[in-house]
Amino acid sequence: MGRHSKTVIEYRSYEFPPHFPLRVIAGEEWRISDVPSGVLHFHNCLEIGICESDSGKMNFSGKVVPFKAGDITLVAGDVPHTTWSDPGCASKWSYIFTDAEELLRPFFDPAALPNSRLLTQVLHGWSGIFSSADHPALANYVKMILQEMQTRSLNYEISVRGLFVALITEVMRLSTEQNDSASANRMVIAPALTYIDEFYMENFSIRDLADACSMSESHFRRVFRELVGMGPLDYLNRTRIAKACSLLRMTDDSILTISEKVGFGSMSSFNRHFYEVMGTAPSDWRRATGTGIGTSILKYSGWLRPPTP
């Protein structure tokens, strides 16, 4: 029996200024090709998009959903996805990328938020496409944030945080209205996703993650792969590599020190997993991107332009 081809999932990281963890990517060049890339990708943050023209489809971990002009898309950082336009179209988009919890933190501790489990659901394993006509409040919040980020008038950062509170509240309400069984199932692995995000640098087993979700290990592995698109160990290693990239870019720590900080037990293991995720060795990646706090944040993080087919 022949081997199944390995699914390729790319990681796209966006770094943010510590005082304001939000970036907008927009402009006339942000038109999405009508040629499907065939490769899913995921982010280190929440992605919010608005389709400004034409139509097409999005693939969320194997589930293909159509979109049209005016639609709002929300994709949690850990949801593998890709976008392509309908034949003959080049849909135009504007995107908001944000570390939602850090954006909210000056207003309140996200963990203390009433119904905080709904916020966890939105930020882990959740995605959706919403019509502006059916969800005008959601569309208006997105448009107002984009406008504030474009004009950058007095106290625009405070305004954006306030608008985001309203936006994420609306999204939390929408998440409770959805009866999609897959969306509901994602809640069962939320404790594991939260644990990985908080304790990725520590040595723990898949059994520990399964226990946090009150599942047997075999059932947990199967459910996790179905919902996230990869196994829990792969997800843990990708999280560790994402954290390592930030340290490689923003600190002068040695590669050995960084590998230990993010939880790898040996340099050989770190180098192997780094190459699998990033396609290059950590030392080469650091040389290519530069080092230290003066390095350009956007130049080497995430897509600045739509991917070329």
**Could you tell me if 295 and 250 are in contact, meaning their C-beta atoms sit under 8 angstroms apart?**
yes
What contacts 191, CB < 8 A, 6 or more positions away?
212, 213
Give the span between the Cα atoms of 154 and 240, in whole angstroms.
Answer: 38
Instruction: Dump pLDDT digits (tens) for 215-247.
Output: 999 999 999 988 877 899 998 998 898 788 878
- In order along its 309 residues, the chain shows pLDDT tens digits of 344 444 567 778 787 887 899 999 998 888 999 998 878 888 888 999 999 999 999 998 778 999 999 999 999 887 889 999 999 999 999 999 999 988 998 888 777 777 777 787 788 778 899 999 999 999 999 999 999 999 999 999 999 999 999 999 999 888 776 545 445 556 788 889 888 988 999 999 999 999 999 999 999 999 998 887 789 999 899 889 878 887 886 678 899 999 999 999 899 999 999 988 887 899 887 877 554 433 332 222 344 455 554
Q: What is the pTM of this model?
A: 0.65
The pLDDT, as a whole number, for residue 148 is: 98
Give the span between the Cα atoms of 38 and 59, in whole angstroms.
Answer: 10
Give the span between the Cα atoms of 168 and 175, in whole angstroms.
Answer: 10
**Could you tell me if 118 and 172 are in contact, meaning their C-beta atoms sit under 8 angstroms apart?**
yes
- Nearest-CA neighbor of 127 among 91, 52, 203, 180? 180
What value does the CA radius of gyration of the chain take, rounded to a whole number of Å?
19
The pLDDT, as a whole number, for residue 38 is: 78
| Strand order, beta sheet including 81-85 | 9-12, 40-43, 81-85, 55-60, 63-68
Give the span between the Cα atoms of 220 and 206, in whole angstroms.
Answer: 9
CATH code of the region 187-289: 1.10.10.60
- Nearest-CA neighbor of 240 among 216, 266, 214? 266
**Structural domain boundaries in the chain:** 9-178, 187-289
- Nearest-CA neighbor of 95 among 35, 26, 164, 159? 26
* CATH of 9-178 among 3.40.50.2000, 2.60.120.280, 2.10.25.10, 3.40.50.300: 2.60.120.280
The pLDDT, as a whole number, for residue 212 is: 92
Strands 63-68 and 55-60: antiparallel
Give the span between the Cα atoms of 212 and 112, in whole angstroms.
Answer: 20
Instruction: Dump pLDDT digits (tens) for 185-209.
Output: 567 888 898 889 889 999 999 999 9
